[in-house]
A and B are shown apart, each in its own frame.
With several copies, the nearest count.
Chain A
Amino acid sequence: MSNMVQAIRMALHVAEERHGVTDIFGEDVGPPLGGAFTATQGLKTAWNSPLDERGIVGASIGLGLAGCRNVAEIQFCDYAFNAIDLLKLGGMIHWSSNGDWNCPMTIMTPVGSGIRGSIYHSHSFDATATHIPGYKIAIPSTPKDAYGLLLSCVVDPNPCFFLVPKALMRVRAQPGEEIPGEPGDDKALSKLIDAPLGERSQWKPQWPDTPDLFIPFGEARTVRPGRDLTVVSYGRTLPLCARAAEELSREEIEAEVIDLRSLHPYDWERIAESVRRTGRALFVNEDTEITNFGEHLLRRTVEELFYELIAPPRLLAGAHVPGIGLADSLEMASVPQLPSITEAIRSLARIEP
């Protein structure tokens, strides 16, 4: 069964074979490396760009304007912050031309903590991305979702952000969550599509025959049903929320866990339906906590569901500090971890109205 990086690679293969993707590019995206995380190994349209994020985003827009579906990688989202203006520009091409032009492009970038990436290589991008109008934004937490969301990005006529939680890149799919057509055996899959170490100039991947699978934007996934409170998360923190909920069911706290998957559009119906039932809402992400996308979700919850809330909704997010420090203790203290998530769910569930 694939991990997320392999799922992305298979999706990109399908994208260039069947959906007209002409360029998959960025720093170290092409041979020999095939991406800092190997997500672009063996792809026929992958190439190495200059070390210039502004050039990468600019070229991605230009390709989109020329009608070329393309996937541009920013090696780490930490390095996208010199190109926010260009990203904004990409998001306004359709609107500023009053509907005349459009710009298909997918900006793919690894996000978040979890690999001891230190001050850089640990940034989140969800607050920034959701504040830029004109983008559809996907962030998977399983290999299959990565596969299906990335295919939805590449065929979309609009600019898309495809955010990849670094911490989940090597995590394998759960049984029942495989991509149709992929070999069940990890080793077998690896043999087919992972480039060998060292010399690999003659290597060619053998792609399993995986189908088109489009996970629509704006459709969340309820990872775990529950009656007591609603936990909305995505990316690295999502599996932690699920585990916390699992553990707390021993304390007779039944938390419903929703994986948002798509941050714009997002599945408000599902959140609202759940919060109406539970009366309690916890939003969890790891971006810094001031002007955070979870605050948007919380605001909307309050504006629309105020009278159905039986406890104050809460946000659990990253500390508002300039970076994530390298030492383990520093990273742990900076962004939500299993204990802090568990405690947040527990305390919210126990508030007496």
Chain B
Amino acid sequence: MSTSLRPVLSPPETELSPELLRKLHELMVKGRLLEERLMQMYRQGDGYFWIGGPGEEAFNVPLGLLIEKGRGPQYDYCHFHYRQSATLLAMGADPIDSLRMMKNTATDPYTGGRNFSGHYSIREWNVVPISSPIEVQYAMAPGTAIAQKRIAGGRGITIVTGGDAGTAEGDFASCLIWSSRPANPLPVLILVTNNKWGISTHWQGQHGEKRISDRGKAFGIESKTIDGNDPEICYRELRGAMEYVRSERRPFLMEAIVSRLYGHSSASGANRVNDEADCLQGFEHRLEERGLLTRAQIEELRARFAAELQEAHRKVRQEPMPEGRTIFDHVFSDRDLVRERP
């Protein structure tokens, strides 16, 4: 990996190893099947709301593999949005926990049944609580990066993700501004997954900018738009950008063009759309062509994961739901001042 002081904008075109390609594929399949199971749970009444990232696996999986996970500012901080179950899987999360969050069981390790599907939170891995309001993560990201910047020799970076429509919120601009202050440029990898939609609103009428990444240029931020449907490109570009942020301790803005394969969420029906490229299908074709995987191996993989998820679903169905009185737990981290009445 480059350690030069010049920005690594075009990472070396080294081929990714067959092992890595298979791993990417496996995780993409796993990610897709997980989302399909979550949608099914919604349809079966095992959860009130589904939102997730089918169609973004080619971007989300490489991202998860490249993150330096751990607790505290020596590791990467993750300010994610709600379409990143595949990133979490790639980081090593157990899929059953996503089912628990979907069904809001007491056993949901992320929120204890309090928050929607896709709203992860893992302190051990620096995954800060994902929250529903669009774009607030971009306002918080500079804070963790300030902490990282001041560690001498530190290589931990802050990673923030969000959608295209959300960049209209002022917080996206705040992130660009705070990350590029001459007094203290920050190690933030600013990511935008552009699926061309905000719920029902198409990109076209709303965005005067050709590329969202162009918005970084005025601030002297290294900026790039990539094809988010190609996991090889995503892996290489993310690796290069991360290396730049880790070593230069400066921001990088990357926009990835991705697909939204099941519409916005269960609120819009979560039906499969036909007019968007499917990153998984495309990747599988290529792997087959290159002789790295056979159709049979792919089918076997799918069948295995599907069975595992089905089993997990069965298991989660038996798990307890949270008790009402627990709403008063964890309002404060020292004493429960609310329950005691202040």
Contacts and interface: CB of A to CB of B under 8 A. Distances in A.
B291 interface: no
B326 A330 contact: yes
A157 interface: yes
A326 B326 CA distance: 12
B327 interface: yes
B174 A133 contact: no
Which applies to chain B's interface (DSSP): helix, strand, loop or mixed?
Answer: loop
User: For the side of the interface on B, what is the size category?
Assistant: 35 or more
Given A50-B181, A326-B115, A65 B143 contact: yes
Interface residues of A, number: 74
Given A55-B139, A97-B110, A327-B104, A333 B170 contact: no
A122 to B, nearest CB: 10
A67 B330 contact: no
Nearest to B205: A48
A97 B158 CA distance: 19
Contacts, number: 254
Interface string B327-338: 111111110011
B13 to A, nearest CB: 35
Contact of A60 (B115, B143, B342): B143
Contact of B170 (A54, A101, A136): A54
Contacts of A321: 327-328, 331, 338
Interface stretch (B91-99, B196-204, B308-316): B196-204
Instruction: Count chain A CB atoms within 10 A of each CB in B104, B134, B327 and give the residue with the most.
Output: B327
A33 to B, nearest CB: 4
A226 interface: no
Given A48-B206, A96-B111, A268-B342, A62 B322 contact: no
Given A36-B199, A329-B321, A23 B146 contact: yes
Contact of B178 (A59, A116, A329): A59
A58 B147 contact: no
A218 interface: yes
Interface stretch (A3-11, A87-95, A174-182, A183-191): A87-95
Contacts of B36: none
A61 interface: yes
Interface of B: 48-49, 72-73, 77, 104-106, 108, 110-116, 121-123, 128-129, 131-136, 138-148, 150, 158, 165-166, 168-171, 174, 177-178, 181, 183, 198-201, 205-206, 267, 321-334, 337-338, 340-342
